Structure 1
Amino acid sequence: MGAATDLTDPVKTRHDDGVLVVTIDNPPVNATGAAVRAGLMAALDQARTDALVAAVVITGAGKTFIGGADIREFGKPPVDPALPAVIAAIEAFDKPVVAAINGAALGGGLEVALACHGRVAGQTASLGLPEVHLGLVPGAGGTQRLPRLVGTLVALKMITDGKPVGASQALETGLVDRMADADLLAAATGFARSLVAQPLRRTGQLTVRPHDAGAFEAEAERVAKKARGRSAPLEGIRLVRMATESDLDTGLKAERETFVRLRDSTESAALRHIFFAERSAGKPPELKAVEPRRLETIGIAGTGLMGCGIAVATLAAGYRVIALDQTAEAAEKGAVRIRETIAKSVASGRLSQESADTQLSRLTVTADANLLSAADLVIEAVFDDLQVKTDLFQRLDGIVPETTILATNTSYLDPDEIAAATAHPSRVVGLHFFSPAHIMKLVEVVRCASTAPEVLATALAFARTCRKIPVVTGVCEGFIGNRIFSAYRDEAERLIEEGALPQDVDRAMEAYGFPMGLFAVYDMAGLEIAWARRKRQAATRDPNLAYFEIPDRLCEAGRFGRKAGRGFYLYEDGRKKVDPEIDRLIADYRAEKGFIARAIGDDEIIARLLARMAREGQALLDETIAARAEDIDVVLVHGYGFPAHKGGPMFAAPQQLKTTT
């Protein structure tokens, strides 16, 4: 083996018995930035002119092959060589080029691998084209080469869903030629040597294999239905179909034109905005030098639906869990609920039985609060009542060590009041999970007035370990998400008073991209829950503030939502229907209150609701409850169904204003 040679900083080469091993070393994910592209071209030049080199192997340093393009280059002047040119050079190279896929080969990384004449995957390899999540299609040949290699149906799913496949599935579909059991580079260099003096298999020259047209169209219909206004999945369908109808050059030209058009669209800008916002969320600059504490055992007080979800997420993250409930009977029911939730993941194939057994071996469910003395962090998930929560924390003061962090999962209560009732307020923090907690990605991490920096840093690290997206919020009623959602609801109610109907509001917002309209969400959640809270607050409500009485009247009539078969809508055989009775009830309410109805179009509904959310978001920034507008967008996207391809209310409201003025 020869010594490594630096061509450019992120690309290194070394000789291995006639094979030039090219290693991309561009942390953190070996992205194909300008220096990497130049380095790959230089490596090809070296291999071309070196008579001792008979073949080339391309691999990545660390745990990643190539994690994709450097999206920080988007919007900047292009720097040669462009990735399509690099890929064309690899595919046309007259010596064998083999990809040794040592980890993630995503986006441009997979496109590089597709251009190679052979592919060998390591056991941890992951291959995918996730561009759709950024509002894009692959732009360096992915939509044209992938169908030629694996067929149109597999290609369509990978391109439009954006989900990576593992090494075994890649081998099964023909995406890779071999899997390496142990030494990946040895397997790849051996494979490369076997291709010397053989006709090279150039992916772009392959003929797309015949496909089941019916299956393809059914999948295309599924993708189109799921797109909900996003352009990239539909363009992916068109381009994969083009691979079956056009020559490679025509397909590549159409792909590149589509990529550039989508890259410059508001939709892609919104998705990139969310992409970067997710990665910077939960990283307050003032905590940069603060080391989080090591956590091993997590206590969870309450094993209802929320407590169960938190327990499942925490077990999946590798922690030991001690779950507490009030009685032995309640604890046993909680244990059953946790086991059944994990069993569903096994049944769906998301979790192996071995992993499930390992997780459950770390679970203790008990009615003995003293067992929580072993916990490094205790999260309460009990009834959302101030007295109940403060009583619990005061009890824990006498059980757990002073170093144990106490976290409240309250949605609306003031965590500062809860903290003030404890012996050590500095160890109290908010961890507001969203239900179902084992599925929803968002966690609002509430910085209380006395929360110690180390405690906040630990709470953030814990959330990230649980594969959540943590967003720091200050203390106010509803924190970031529920406060903005309350403003959204309030504006929707004003629209109803002025002339819109629930189905009008829901239709407009679903057309905008929300998975479900506001009033349909009410019905699904159950109207009686919010009704009970409103009744508790009635004595302290400001009589001068506007109050929308329709939900109360629905509850008084037994219309509690979907589970009652009646709410804002009628439900027959599980299907939602507009109910003329609601239209009459609203008309009578307007007449009683003196409102004069007018026609309100979808554009006005959307504009007003977005503007109201953005105004409330700005108020949160002004009050320093939220640190950044991007944090607000992340909360609304991941906690409340705001369409990611619209970027969140703070990103979207100015865009909507431009289109309506």
Structure 2
Amino acid sequence: MSSGNKSDVVRLEKRDDIGIITIDNPPINAGARGVRIGLLAAVQAFSEDSGLAAGVLIGAGRMFMAGSDMREINAPVLDPILPEVIGAIERCPKPIVAAIAGAALGGGYELSLGCDARIASPEAVVGLPECALGMMPGAGGTQRLPRLAGLPVSIRLICSGERVKARRAAEIGMIDKVVDGPLLEEAIAFARGLGGRKRRVMEMTAPDCDPADLDRAKVDALAAGGGRPHIQLAIDAVEWCRTRPGDEALREERKIFDRLRTGPEAEAMLHLFFAERDSMKDASVDLSSSASLDHVAIVGIGPDCDALAAAMVRRGHSVVLVSELSDLDAVSSCDVIFVAEQANDDRIGALLVRLSAHARAHAVVLVAGGGQTVATLEKAFGRSGKLCGWRGMAGAAGSGIVEIVRQARTEPRTLATALALAKAAGQMAVMVGDSEGLVGRRIAAAAHRSCVLLQEQGVRAEQLREVLTRFGLPVPPLSEATRAEPQTTMDDEQIASWILVAIANEAALMLAAGRVRSPGDVDLLLTNAYGFPRHEGGIGLWARRQQRANLKQVVGMLAEASGERFERAPDVALDALCGEG
């Protein structure tokens, strides 16, 4: 193989009559500006080389392109934009085959759609996740995918942001072939097999579909997306592939994408995306120090234990199920012991005493339930630093997020193990400080208390229900009793403000007390377990968007109306919730 055109992150090499364009921008080959510049240059050089008959576009390492450079997402996108790169591939007179390993997501999959064929290794996944981030595809995804997979399937995939495994992707037309052999060699053979023919997706016609199936897909997508405006925009864009000229539809798609990506909903979704990424990071915790998950003991019975065990087995881990009433010898071979929530505090204490006699010296113990502090549980277990709390429902039966409860003596290895177990079970996790009860539940409960207070002020249950529903918050139990002479003339905006500021105040108190690490962790808890609308990003982002003086003024009004029942967060804590200080 001889080297030709080359840049820092994209290179064009020759193998006989095949040009191989490689994206090399680790770790995920993100479509940063340098990659786009390099791709344009490589495609042009490939087009002009008379000795090359066909090309392969591939990612270095084990990844094709897992999306855009997230550092660019909130900044102006500098030329060349991705549609220009895709247009150059389509205009190229020679066929180019996309060879997909790892992931081709978002702009990465749209890049592959600009090629003349797509083949993938068995473990690859493809998809367009933009709608899950408050946006919609902006580099041709809404126009090219329906020409391959049909409108109903495309609407379902685009609006859900689903990641599709390679074999299913081949079945529905997202890719042409799954190959078991060496990917590059298979791609070269596929490219030669095209015989120089171009297969531009934009020149294809979307397959006919059953109108009833299309209507169902649209209704289902809107329902699953909570009726959010960007979901309707994505549906409309997909339908353009049959009603508008291709060039016009592509331009309009990009225009809407540019508007959405800098809008409030995308800001909220990206805020949660980065919060989830950061929730697994802690300067004191080296995730690689986790105890082995090869053998995990789950002590207890019930649906949560079953769900956790099933999730672990699906991911290839060995699980030992142990009844707390049985002989505990089985745990002696396990490095990780998960103890299910017990009926009462005395029972869990007695069980931990028994476990200490059987568990390995280095075993990590995770205790579900929130009735006691980790310090109390550790005292019963008799080993310092080896135990932490696991609060929240386990596995598929739960909310998908758990609170990992730590105290000052909890060892980093113990925390790393808890985070690794959550990841292996397919759950999000946040680390919280030691105390009784769930942090998220306490913050969310502030909404109910504020509703009680508002009803005491004369606000009718019907009005409260309407305000909560309009914002997207769960409706707590409300008193239907009404006062003969309401004592308030508060409008809906003021009512919503009282409820949201009450939640913000409680979250600020938790931050000040060290119960939760960051506003992002608060937002993950509220949006994943307590019904706070994801399109608002959580209470931390909501508070950041408010004028600080108004926020603190409403806190003062809540304190005055509540009297001794209300604990006011210090101003510095509210500033921290808003991302200041």
Equivalent position of 1:573 in the other structure: none
**In the alignment, is the contact (CA less than 8 A) between 1:505 and 1:518 conserved in 2?**
no
Greater shift, 218-227 or 102-111, is seen at: 218-227
1:617 equivalent to 2:575? Answer: no
Q: Which of 431, 436, 443 is the aligned partner of 1:484?
A: 443
Equivalent position of 2:245 in the other structure: 247
Structure 1 residues 589-614: Cα deviation after superposition (integer angstroms, max 9, x where no partner): x79xxx95546554334322221111
In structure 2, the CA distance between the partners of 1:439 and 1:369, relative to structure 1 (3 Å rule), is same
Residue identity opposite 1:138 in structure 2 = P
Q: SS of the residue aligned with 2:388?
A: strand
Q: SS of the residue aligned with 1:286?
A: coil
Equivalent position of 1:40 in the other structure: 39
**In the alignment, is the contact (CA less than 8 A) between 2:86 and 2:111 conserved in 1?**
yes
Equivalent position of 2:318 in the other structure: 320
Equivalent position of 2:84 in the other structure: 85
- How far did 1:131 drift? 0.5
In structure 2, the CA distance between the partners of 1:427 and 1:288, relative to structure 1 (3 Å rule), is closer
Q: Which of 170, 177, 199 is the aligned partner of 1:201?
A: 199
Structure 1 residues 216-272: Cα deviation after superposition (integer angstroms, max 9, x where no partner): 122212222232252221111111122211001111111111101111111100100
1:608 equivalent to 2:567? Answer: no
Structure 1 residues 156-183: Cα deviation after superposition (integer angstroms, max 9, x where no partner): 1111111122333332333323332323
Q: Distance in 2 between matches of 1:189 and 1:296?
A: 39
Q: Distance in 2 between matches of 1:173 and 1:631?
A: 38
- How far did 1:64 drift? 2.0
In structure 2, the CA distance between the partners of 1:477 and 1:488, relative to structure 1 (3 Å rule), is farther
- How far did 1:393 drift? 1.1
Q: SS of the residue aligned with 2:272?
A: helix
Q: Distance in 2 between matches of 1:37 and 1:442?
A: 37
Q: Which of 519, 528, 535 is the aligned partner of 1:629?
A: 519
In structure 2, the CA distance between the partners of 1:464 and 1:130, relative to structure 1 (3 Å rule), is same
- How far did 1:47 drift? 0.7
Residue identity opposite 2:254 in structure 1 = R
**In the alignment, is the contact (CA less than 8 A) between 1:499 and 1:600 conserved in 2?**
no
Q: Distance in 2 between matches of 1:48 and 1:491?
A: 66
Q: Distance in 2 between matches of 1:258 and 1:77?
A: 15
In structure 2, the CA distance between the partners of 1:172 and 1:296, relative to structure 1 (3 Å rule), is closer
Residue identity opposite 1:49 in structure 2 = E
**In the alignment, is the contact (CA less than 8 A) between 2:395 and 2:426 conserved in 1?**
no
Residue identity opposite 1:99 in structure 2 = A
Q: Distance in 1 between matches of 2:121 and 2:148?
A: 19
- How far did 1:111 drift? 0.8
Equivalent position of 1:641 in the other structure: 531
Residue identity opposite 2:243 in structure 1 = E
Q: Distance in 2 between matches of 1:315 and 1:245?
A: 48
- How far did 1:311 drift? 2.6
**In the alignment, is the contact (CA less than 8 A) between 1:309 and 1:436 conserved in 2?**
yes
Q: Which of 452, 456, 464 is the aligned partner of 1:493?
A: 452
Q: Distance in 2 between matches of 1:180 and 1:372?
A: 43
Equivalent position of 1:63 in the other structure: 62
Q: SS of the residue aligned with 1:518?
A: coil
Q: Distance in 1 between matches of 2:213 and 2:272?
A: 33
Equivalent position of 2:554 in the other structure: none
Equivalent position of 1:235 in the other structure: 233
Q: Distance in 2 between matches of 1:228 and 1:311?
A: 32
**In the alignment, is the contact (CA less than 8 A) between 1:291 and 1:457 conserved in 2?**
yes
TM-score by length of 1: 0.78
TM-score by length of 2: 0.88
Q: SS of the residue aligned with 1:100?
A: strand
- How far did 1:196 drift? 3.8
In structure 2, the CA distance between the partners of 1:197 and 1:324, relative to structure 1 (3 Å rule), is closer
**In the alignment, is the contact (CA less than 8 A) between 1:430 and 1:445 conserved in 2?**
yes
Q: Distance in 2 between matches of 1:496 and 1:384?
A: 36
1:285 equivalent to 2:283? Answer: yes
**In the alignment, is the contact (CA less than 8 A) between 1:305 and 1:436 conserved in 2?**
no
In structure 2, the CA distance between the partners of 1:310 and 1:597, relative to structure 1 (3 Å rule), is farther
- How far did 1:502 drift? 5.0
Aligned pairs (5 A) from 1:174-189 = 174-189=173-188
Q: Which of 380, 385, 392 is the aligned partner of 2:339?
A: 380
Q: Distance in 1 between matches of 2:73 and 2:119?
A: 31
**In the alignment, is the contact (CA less than 8 A) between 2:392 and 2:398 conserved in 1?**
no
Equivalent position of 2:419 in the other structure: 460
Greater shift, 473-482 or 88-97, is seen at: 473-482
Aligned pairs (5 A) from 1:231-380 = 231-288=229-286, 291-327=289-325, 367-380=326-339
Structure 1 residues 84-133: Cα deviation after superposition (integer angstroms, max 9, x where no partner): 10011111111111111223111111111111112222222322111001
Equivalent position of 1:156 in the other structure: 155
Residue identity opposite 1:518 in structure 2 = P
Over aligned residue pairs, what C-alpha RMSD do you find?
2.4
Q: Distance in 1 between matches of 2:410 and 2:101?
A: 43
Equivalent position of 1:351 in the other structure: none
In structure 2, the CA distance between the partners of 1:292 and 1:175, relative to structure 1 (3 Å rule), is closer
Q: Distance in 1 between matches of 2:29 and 2:331?
A: 44
Q: Distance in 1 between matches of 2:401 and 2:67?
A: 25
Structure 1 residues 425-475: Cα deviation after superposition (integer angstroms, max 9, x where no partner): 321211113256555321211112321222222222222222221211001
Q: Distance in 2 between matches of 1:16 and 1:434?
A: 54
Equivalent position of 1:534 in the other structure: none
Equivalent position of 2:12 in the other structure: 13
Q: Distance in 2 between matches of 1:74 and 1:147?
A: 26
Equivalent position of 1:348 in the other structure: none
- How far did 1:205 drift? 2.1
Name the count of aligned residue pairs.
550
Equivalent position of 1:395 in the other structure: 354
Q: Distance in 2 between matches of 1:262 and 1:160?
A: 14
Q: Distance in 2 between matches of 1:487 and 1:420?
A: 32
Residue identity opposite 1:119 in structure 2 = R
Residue identity opposite 1:450 in structure 2 = R
Equivalent position of 1:169 in the other structure: 168
In structure 2, the CA distance between the partners of 1:298 and 1:436, relative to structure 1 (3 Å rule), is closer
Q: Distance in 2 between matches of 1:134 and 1:459?
A: 28
Residue identity opposite 1:152 in structure 2 = L
Residue identity opposite 2:21 in structure 1 = V
**In the alignment, is the contact (CA less than 8 A) between 1:135 and 1:231 conserved in 2?**
no
Residue identity opposite 2:322 in structure 1 = L
Residue identity opposite 2:87 in structure 1 = A
Gaps of 5+ in 1: 328-366, 520-567, 569-581
In structure 2, the CA distance between the partners of 1:488 and 1:425, relative to structure 1 (3 Å rule), is farther
Equivalent position of 1:551 in the other structure: none
Equivalent position of 1:215 in the other structure: 213
Equivalent position of 1:517 in the other structure: 475
**In the alignment, is the contact (CA less than 8 A) between 1:480 and 1:626 conserved in 2?**
yes
Equivalent position of 2:560 in the other structure: none
Equivalent position of 2:579 in the other structure: none
Identical residues among aligned pairs (%): 33
Q: Distance in 1 between matches of 2:370 and 2:447?
A: 17
